[in-house]
Homo-oligomer: A and B are copies of this chain.
Amino acid sequence: MGQLTVNTQKGSYNVHIGEEVYDLFSSDYHELLMNADKVAIFADETAGALHLEKIEHSLQSANIPFVVHILPAGEKIKTPECYISCQSFLLQHNFTRHSVLIAFGGGACGDLTGFVAATFMRGIPFLQCPTTILAHDSAVGGKTAINMPEGKNMVGSFHQPAGVLFKPSLFKTLPEREKRSGMAELFKHALLADQDWTESLLLSPSFPNLSEELLTVELEKGIRVKAEIVAQDEFEHGVRQFLNLGHTLGHAIEAYFGFGEVSHGECIMIGMAYSLILSEEFGEISPEFTSRFIEFAFASGYPMEAIAKVEFNPLLQFMKKDKKVHSGEMVFVLLEKPGIPFTQTISEERCEEAYKELKIRLKKGM
């Protein structure tokens, strides 16, 4: 079983990767769960239908009583209405500030459960048990949030989990599209961290369908990148911003289509292509590298063409609501080269030009 530690202001917690992670309910996390007066699993519909018995069985083996709350799958789980109904669920089941939550599902389930845990009676502990590849990113780092009609992740807290338990065999049942979504964030971690790693992924013939063994190795590398950045800058005043690579445009596209219509990672893949185009001017990225990335994205099945239909102005409105906006100026994460990110303020005009350029390059790539 792989294990790495995330250090934060309020202490550290562990991220575990492997087939036996749920055995930790009987060991590493037994005290936390036994001392809780109530335990709830917040499972999304998808994970609940496919895998709930696995986590239930492990909790039962550890003699831990629990209740299960099944929530809608996808981004619907992150509405204000769902957030409030979860709080009512806990109160109606007599949960207290000594209770513990377990998030069992995709990234959206973890974000919602984390925000419920952050704010129920001003904060209770929670465990992250992600069931998707994408959640390897969101489950680590303590960013919790819900969406507003006006934008994604607009309301939330920093609330670190008590532990993160990854069980890679759960990823076997993921649809192709969900795998692509998760692997986009993995690719982002490579782009931020390491040129060689980036190159090896670009050359990977089976991306995004890595074998379970290879996936476990790659995920652990991705989480390590995330954990190191979070430890340096938990509250995103500095280097943590780099994790938003591809997210300013990506989130705008996601919001434009309506959350859930296109997958998060697919949008981020397009957002990274956009950042690479901007990085040609502001950094040292070559047009050749951007082209290889776009070809790789097409070859890996990312639906890059969807973007070609969207006009710039509606996306701009969403980008202006982005949390990275400061005094009306848009700040983007760009790359000097893979492994060396930086932030850059960019004018609306330049953003629009780069967007036109992106459309042209995507057409070439098709």
User: Interface on A for B, CB 8 Å cutoff?
Assistant: 37, 80, 84, 87-88, 91-92, 94, 96-98, 115, 118-123, 143, 145, 148-151, 154-158, 235-236, 320-321, 323, 325-328
Q: Is the interface of A mostly helix, strand, loop or mixed?
A: mixed
Number of copies: 2
A327 contacts B37, C-beta separation under 8 Å: yes
- CB-nearest residue of chain B to A144: B122
Residue from B84, B91, B115, B151 in contact with A91 in the complex, judged by beta carbons closer than 8 Å? B151
Alpha-carbon separation in the docked complex, A235 to B320 (Å): 35
Decide: A155 and B94 in contact? CB cutoff 8 A: no
Which residues of chain B are within 8 angstroms of A235 by Cβ–Cβ distance? 123
Q: A316 to chain B: closest CB distance in Å?
A: 12
Measured CA separation A234–B327 after assembly (Å): 33
Q: Which 4 A-B pairs have the closest CB atoms?
A: A91-B150, A37-B327, A80-B84, A121-B323
Quick one: which of B91, B148, B327 contacts A154, CB cutoff 8 A?
B91
Pairwise interchain contact A96-B157, C-beta atoms closer than 8 A = no
| Given A157-B123, A157-B157, A328-B37, CB of A321 within 8 Å of CB of B94 | yes
Residue of A80, A155, A235, A321 with most chain B CB atoms under a 10 A cut-off = A155
**Interchain CB contact under 8 A, B119 and A156:** yes
Please state if A154 and B123 are interface contacts (CB–CB under 8 Å).
no
With contact pairs A122-B145, A143-B122 given, residues A87 and B320 touching in the complex (Cβ less than 8 Å): no
> Which B residues are CB-close (under 8 A) to A321?
91, 94
Known pairs A145-B122, A150-B91; A98 contacts B327 (CB<8 A)? yes
How far does the alpha carbon of A7 sit from the alpha carbon of B97 in the complex, in Å? 24
Known: A37-B327, A87-B154, A123-B235; 17 extra A-B contacts, CB below 8 A, are A84-B148, A87-B148, A87-B155, A88-B148, A88-B149, A88-B150, A91-B151, A94-B320, A97-B323, A98-B327, A115-B119, A118-B157, A119-B156, A122-B145, A122-B156, A122-B323, A123-B158
